[in-house]
Amino acid sequence: MNLERRSHETLALGFVALFALSLVMYFLVRYNGVFSIVDVAVFTNAANSVVETGTVTEGPNYSNGFGYPALVGALSLLTGVSVPVLQLYVMPFGLLLTLGAGYLAIRAMYDRRTAIFGALLLFMHPFLLFSTFRSTHEKFTYALIFLTLFTLYQSFRRREGEVKVQYILLSYFFVFGMIFYNVFFSSAFIVAIGTSVFGTALLMIYFGHDIELRRLSYTVLISFVMLIFTVLFVYPPSRSFLFSLGPSIIQGMSLLLGNAPSATGTQPYQTVFTEWQSFGTYLVLISFYLIVFPIAGLTWLYRGL
């Protein structure tokens, strides 16, 4: 029985990996290997700086994190392959890691079929597909988010003391990695976990249930300390993140109030009517949001209740 289960698990992972590989190969063939935008150029310059200077702080760098430039620079030094070649032809394959981590997290929380469907559904999302294919930190940051969720879930699920400790330590390891790759994304993740703890505590009070939240609260607090430690001491360029908190809060409030300014000075959704020749085509292209998100929200509420 165990052998049959492992066989099914291997087939499922193989299918997910083949799907991710097909996506990467499509993009590489579609653009003849030349797919580069502003963010890719920023990380290419930062990785080149790592190779030339041997440090992540001197020369051009990415202020929100040093993990990705350090990774690409190290690969370049180890393999002898230039940073631009790695960026154009190798790093897009990191999408396999993102998809695999997503499958692993969903598989732990639900079952194999749900995990396959969830992993495929993730990469029907146009923004996630775009951001994880291009050669930036995002594919690794998202993978670390999934791995953190996986280890957190397992740390609460497992009863064996030694195994539980291993998953707790792994969760902090992945949080640290996430912070190294991007302090802004990791701060949003930590706030999201903290918000879920606070919301669950309110529901416990209202319904009179008793759920152990102390350790998860400690996890949020320790993760926040790790974030501040990285910003203040490990990677000084990321201190600019602290100065962006004020404007971010103001912009977030403006967005909630329906008066969010954009970089061009126009309303963000105005281009839908001024630059799209067919509004119907636009609706078809964003049908993912219109269908999946409401269903996901209703499912979340149902399972929560």
69 and 61 Cβ atoms separated by less than 8 Å? yes
Helix, strand counts (H, E) of the chain = 16, 0
Q: Strand, helix or coil at 96?
A: helix
Residue 209 has pLDDT above 80, yes or no: no
Q: DSSP code of 63?
A: T
What is the model's pTM? Answer: 0.82
Residue scoring higher pLDDT (37 or 15): 15
The pLDDT assigned to 154 comes to 92
Candidates 192, 227, 199, 197; CA nearest to 214 is 197
Rounded distance between C-alpha atoms, residue 271 and residue 236, angstroms? 38
87 and 139 Cβ atoms separated by less than 8 Å? no
The two tokens of residue 195 are 């918000």
- Write out the DSSP string of 120-150: HHHTTSHHHHHHHHSSSSHHHHHHHHHHHHH
Instruction: Kindly give the interhelix angle for 95-109 and 138-157, rounded to the nearest 10 degrees.
Output: 20
Average pLDDT over residues 248-272: 55
Side chain identity at 5, as an amino acid letter? R
Rounded distance between C-alpha atoms, residue 145 and residue 174, angstroms? 8
Domain boundaries, the chain: 2-182, 271-305
* Digit-coded pLDDT (tens) for 112-165: 888 888 888 887 777 788 888 889 999 999 999 999 999 999 988 887 878 889
Query: Model confidence at 258, in pLDDT bands (50, 70, 90)?
Result: very low
Cα–Cα distances in angstroms (integers) from residue 292 to residues 109, 131, 286, in the given order: 20, 19, 10
The pLDDT assigned to 235 comes to 92
Q: Where are the alpha helices (DSSP H) in 31-137?
A: 38-53, 67-79, 83-85, 95-109, 112-122, 126-133
Rounded distance between C-alpha atoms, residue 85 and residue 263, angstroms? 32
Instruction: Kindly give the interhelix angle for 183-207 and 138-157, rounded to the nearest 10 degrees.
Output: 30
* Digit-coded pLDDT (tens) for 59-106: 889 989 999 999 999 999 999 999 999 998 999 999 889 988 999 999
* Digit-coded pLDDT (tens) for 2-26: 666 777 778 877 888 888 888 888 8
Rounded distance between C-alpha atoms, residue 125 and residue 128, angstroms? 5
Q: Strand, helix or coil at 165?
A: helix
Close Cβ partners of 183 (under 8 Å, ≥ 6 residues apart): 64, 65, 227, 230, 231, 235, 238, 241
Cα–Cα distances in angstroms (integers) from residue 210 to residues 41, 52, 104, 156, 197, in the given order: 51, 56, 29, 15, 13
Candidates 196, 154, 148, 149; CA nearest to 173 is 148
The two tokens of residue 299 are 């499912």
